[in-house]
Amino acid sequence: MIVISGLGQCSALGLGLDGLRQAWLDGAQPKVSVEVVETASGPRDVSVYRVPPVILPPKLVPEAVERRMSRFARMAFATMNEALADAGSPAPADRSALVVGSAYGCLDVAMNYQNRIFQYEHAGASPTLFASSIHNSLASQLTLAFGIRGPNSTVATMEQTPVSSFRLAYDWIQKDLADRVVVLLGDELTAYHLYALSQTEQRLPAGEGMTAFVLDRESLAAKRYARLEAPQMVCESPPAGKVFSAGTHASLYGDMAIGTAFETLLAALHVEREGEIYSCVQDTPGLAQQSLTLTPYRNP
């Protein structure tokens, strides 16, 4: 069996589980920001949930590395660090693995790289920005910083990214390729998103953020929020227990392509607190429904 042994999150509610628990239990709401976007038809207001500035723990990475780090990378490092600290009892480096899932990846860095070329032509091509803009570069940085020597992969399948990422991590443990897999899921709001949102009617503020889950082989876990059943890439039967769909709690984290990641985090907290079964469902137009189910951990 596989269990979720550590959790972390970074959103407009701040870094850490405390802000999310407060919102869940006490009804606290994240702060809404309004950003003005210049368009061909004039300025437009876009409502967003922005992640507050992220300060990394001392000595997590060298100062020179931290200075060059993108905001998206900062969110990832801080959230993964929190989840690993929450799980405790580190697995051997060669038995630890990482899956990074993101619908858009380091899009802000990629746009900066492209804009510099537009402005300065070939002389504006920055090797540093180019390296950081590659979609799987973040996974490489994280494995080096956290001493992960097992497999690592980057998943980008838009709304289906969360379930796909969990399935890959689940299979790695089941096939004995790793005893622990960190699943890191997140996206940032960029100028690209803001412009696109300025052309639509918003139902909810747009969100950004990062979630982190530590999946452990049950016999080796020091802490257990919930058991993870095999994620269903194509649902063949109705999901078990109480169901969270993508966007069920979007008022807490905002409108996001990978909102199912935050729903899964909330489901894990519910399972731990209530001892009931929860499923998270991803419905994507034109594609098969996906789901993952969390069940309570009970001592043998």
Domain range for 162 = 2-225
Nearest to 281 by CA among 234, 213, 224: 234
Parallel/antiparallel/unpaired status of strands 278-282 and 180-187: unpaired
Q: Which residues contact 274 (CB under 8 A, 6 or more apart)?
A: none
- For 36-66, the pLDDT digits (tens) are 999 988 999 999 999 999 988 888 887 877 7
Question: What is the rounded CA–CA span in Å between residue 183 and residue 169?
Answer: 7
Q: How many domains does the chain have?
A: 1
Q: Does 252 map to a domain? A: no
Helix (H) or strand (E) holding 5: strand 2-11
Check whether 271 has a pLDDT greater than 90: yes
Query: Per the domain annotation, does 204 fall within a domain?
Result: yes
Task: Look at the block and give the residue holding tokens 């890191």.
Answer: 184
Close Cβ partners of 69 (under 8 Å, ≥ 6 residues apart): 61, 77
Domain assignment present for 289: no
For residue 13, is pLDDT > 90?
yes
Model pTM score = 0.92
Instruction: Give the residue carrying structure tokens 């960190």.
Output: 182
pLDDT range class, residue 255, cuts 50, 70, 90: very high
pLDDT attached to residue 99: 97
CATH number, domain at 6?
3.40.47.10
Q: What are the pLDDT digits (tens) for 74-104?
A: 999 999 999 999 999 888 889 999 999 999 8
Give domain status of residue 201, yes or no: yes
